[in-house]
Structure 1
Amino acid sequence: MKAYKLDIGGIDYACVEAGEGPLLLLCHGTFGGKRLMFPQLEYLSRHFRCVALDWRGHGGSGHTPGGWTANDLVEDVAAIIGALGEKRAMIAGVSQGGAVGMRVALKYPEKVRALVNMCGGPGGPPPAAIRRLYDLAAFFAEERDEAVRRAAVVEFAASYFHAPSFITREPERFAEEVDAILSHPRESIRLLPCVPESYVDITPRLGEITCPTLIIWAAEEARKTMGIELAAAIPGAELVTIPDAGHHVNVDQPEATSEAIERFLLRH
């Protein structure tokens, strides 16, 4: 694996790359980080040029002090594909990564060879959930007692992202996710909910997505039927449901998720 940064419109994007072949962008969710995509990067780099990135404000990437939107990330992805010397890419994203991927496929269909959406919805969370995310982000930014801060991140990640069995089944993997969340700069972590807040519901436009699409949905995802609804609305989309997995399906069940992505992309 090699690590580097790309200057995208004045924002440094931290990336890790492995493998050769068609370009595959691996995009994490809000509060996640590129390291959470490493199991997919390592597995899929046998066939593809895999690039895992930190979104704006996450991990090693820069950010804009005034915040940013989902539309900004759509433009960033389009620019990243070009900066990597490619005209087209496959996009595999979880949560925010999947939500942004669908929007890239709508705005820049010529740039997206195939799309894998893992638990990414077409719209944003309700206002009460957004307020809760902002409150949590402010706490993560301001709390100076590291033990208290870590305990809050543990509770947040366990309740939002995972199947009930995950923490006891994979304690090391869960600790890695907690470390990833704690690694975000304090000045940017408070801004991370600005993307979920910015989503405009694209449900009426899902039928316009023309690239081959795989929906990977977690059996323990709170929005039980959304995966079925997305697959029905996107022409020709395929659906794979991963058992014993929550919202961060690729973290809960990395092997099953990676295998599903591999099977799909090798056909397209």
Structure 2
Amino acid sequence: MKKYSLNVNGTDYACIEDGAGPLLLLMHGTTGGKQLMLPQVEALSASFRCVAFDWPGHAESGFNPAGWTADDLVEDVATIITLLGEKQAILAGVSQGGAIGMRVALKYPDRVRALVNMCGGPGGPPPAALEKLDQFTKIMAEGNECERREAAITFSKGYLHAPDFAERDPQRFENEIGVLLSHSRKSVQMLFNVPRSYVDITPRLGEIKCPTLVIWAPYDSRPALGEQMAAATPGAKLVTIANAGHHVNVDAPEETTAAIKAFTSTLS
């Protein structure tokens, strides 16, 4: 597996890559990191050129101290495809990754061969949720290490996973806590500016023309949204992963990867 950095429109993106074949970009969610996509990279690299990266301000990537928005990330993903020497990519994203993937498919339809959206909504979080997320990131930026770890555990259990995930898979849960704690204190309070910047694309879902798979989870905070999005997206397929939450690929990596494999096997 290769590790490298790409300078993308002035920001250094930390990347991992494995495999050969059609390009498959694996994009994590807000507060996540490329490490959380490793099960998919490892399983899918037999058929695809798998590239996962840290979004700006996350883990090993750089960031613009003036901030960045969803529109910036859309441009970055299009640039990444070009920098990797490809004309198209399959975009597979969790949460923010799925939300950005949809927007790339709308703005640059010729660049997106197919789309896998894992619990990525078309609009931003409601104001009450953003207020709680701001409180969380303030602790992550300013708290001592005990306070930061406690906040990371509470956030991960409360927002990202099925209720029994931490007990069912303590090592995977601990890995995610490590990712949460790895983000720069300077950038962490800026991470939710991206979902805050989303313009709701619900009215435009019918314009997505590429093959689309929507992977959803019953313990996502919006359990019915996946079905609604799949119904609004032409030809989209829906797979619901049992006993999983918002970070569905972390809760159920084998089942999620199997769904992606089945979907991509149908692509011409």
Residue 39 (structure 1) aligned with residue 61 (structure 2) = no
> 1:17-166 maps to which residues of 2 (within 5 A)?
17-143=17-143, 145-166=144-165
Give, in angstroms, the shift of residue 224 of structure 1. Answer: 1.4
Q: Root-mean-square deviation (CA), in Å?
A: 0.6
- Contact 1:124 1:201 survives alignment (8 Å): yes
| Aligned-pair CA distance for 1:132 | 1.6
| Structure-to-structure mapping, 1:2-21, within 5 angstroms | 2-21=2-21
State whether residues 130 and 196 of structure 1, in contact with CA within 8 Å, keep that contact through their aligned partners in structure 2: no
Q: Distance in 2 between matches of 1:101 and 1:222?
A: 20
- Residue equivalent to 1:264: 263
Count matched residues.
Answer: 267
Cα distance in 2, alignment partners of residues 220 and 140 from structure 1: 25
**Secondary structure at the counterpart of residue 267 of structure 1:** coil
Q: Is the 8 A contact 1:13 1:62 kept in 2?
A: yes
Q: CA deviation at 1:32?
A: 0.4
Residue 90 of structure 1, CA deviation? 0.2
Amino acid at match of 2:242: P
Gaps of 5+ in 1: none
Q: 1:218 maps to what in 2?
A: 217
C-alpha displacement at 1:148, in angstroms? 2.1
Deviations 1:170-199 (A, max 9, x none): 000000000001001110011001001000
Letter in 2 for 1:135: Q
Deviation at 1:136, TM superposition (A): 1.1
Give the counterpart letter for 1:158 in structure 2. Answer: K
Partners of 1:129 and 1:223 lie apart in 2 by: 13
Structure 2: any 5+ residue segments left out of the alignment? none
Give the fraction of aligned pairs with identical amino acids, expressed as a percent: 62
Preserved contact between residue 44 and residue 261 of structure 2 (Cα < 8 Å)? yes
| TM-score normalized by the length of structure 2 | 0.99
Q: CA deviation at 1:130?
A: 1.2
Conserved in 1, the CA contact under 8 Å of 2:159 and 2:221? Answer: no
Deviations 1:73-127 (A, max 9, x none): 0000000000000010000000000000000000000000000000000000011
Structure 1 counterpart SS, 2:265: helix
Code of the residue aligned with 1:193 in structure 2: it is F
Q: 1:28 is matched by which residue type in structure 2?
A: H
Q: Measure, in 2, the Cα distance between the counterparts of 1:130 and 1:180.
A: 21
Matched residue of 1:25: which SS? Answer: strand
Separation (CA, whole Å) in 2 of partners of 1:151 and 1:133: 14
CA contact (8 A) 2:26 2:91 kept: yes
